[in-house]
Amino acid sequence: MVELADILERLHVVALPMRVRFRGITTREVALIEGPVGWGEFGAFVEYEPPEAAHWLASGISAAYRALPAVRRTHIPINATVPAVAAEDVPGVLARFPGARTAKVKVAEPGQTLADDVARVSAVRAAGLTVRVDANGGWTVDEAVAAARALTTDGPLEYLEQPCRTVAELAQLRRRVDVPVAADESIRKAEDPLHVVRSGAADIAVLKVAPLGGVQAMLDIAGHIDIPVVVSSALDTAVGIGAGLVAAGCLPTLEHACGLGTGSLFVEDVAAPMAAVDGCLPAEAVTPDLARLAALAAPADRRQWWVDRVRACFPLMS
């Protein structure tokens, strides 16, 4: 049994500066666990309360203390990730994802308009990439219908990721649009991650290792899903990305590029950037660089905040 005191002794807290604002943040704080078998990541976003964040802690502990499963494939295709930037900034973002053939484009950003989304998506299409969009539950059903129409005027969409907030809305939307619907938050934030699939509310399941409790926990959920799976990042450091790549490498089938190229959104990461080859990254765990950990260490007060958070989440792990 893993002891809380042992975890706290192995904790490294880092603050990673970001190239652009993403999810409203410009610095990503994460706690890393230097375990006996590997490195784990605890990076639940700071606004998440302990009951939800506990799943993320379980994921980090699992990676640090338990061996990862063997992979079925060694290289994972990744998508480019385009934040809610202006259309003219899209080429610069895409340049950080050499070889990527697919791009996930953030849409429905507070303070922006559908016209902004259309311009951003059109700029990605102009670069020759397949486009999927992620609304993070930001639309009503009617707004999602209108957005699907507007965003497919000059080309198709691979899918709409979490266009609406609730499972019922996703199911309703699927009956009104021809674009496939992917579920993210409706899986990772649900008490029953399989509810959205049983309800016929999604064509594709977007699964993230950290919020689902770890690689094996994610694979167990994927084993009960009869729709295609896309493994994605929760704005992870290189350590968390490595876990996601291993999880993607373990899936029986992998039909879509995975959202595991988000390391390029950081100015600095805890390990040297992995170079994509032909749009793919290797399916292997990552060991951080100790010099980088020291350089990126969070201030003492923020480290204590994460220590306190681990203490709060630890007894809530299922």
Residues tagged in the binding site annotation for Mg(2+): 134, 161, 184
Position of tokens 């691979």?
A: 158
Locate all alpha helices (DSSP H) within the chain, ordered by sequence.
4-9, 50-65, 90-94, 114-126, 141-151, 167-174, 185-188, 195-198, 215-222, 238-250, 290-295, 300-313
Question: How far out from the chain centre does Cα 286 lie?
Answer: 17
- Pick from 251, 295, 276: which is nearest to 73 by CA? 251
Position of tokens 């003492």?
A: 300
> How many Å apart are CA 27 and CA 13, to the nearest integer?
13
Residue among 75, 208, 303, 309 flagged as catalytic: 208
189 catalytic per annotation: no
> How many Å apart are CA 314 and CA 285, to the nearest integer?
24
Residue among 10, 28, 104, 106 flagged as catalytic: 106
106 catalytic per annotation: yes
Question: Tokens standing for 59?
Answer: 């994921």
- Tell me the binding residues: 134, 161, 184
Which residues are identified as catalytic? 106, 208
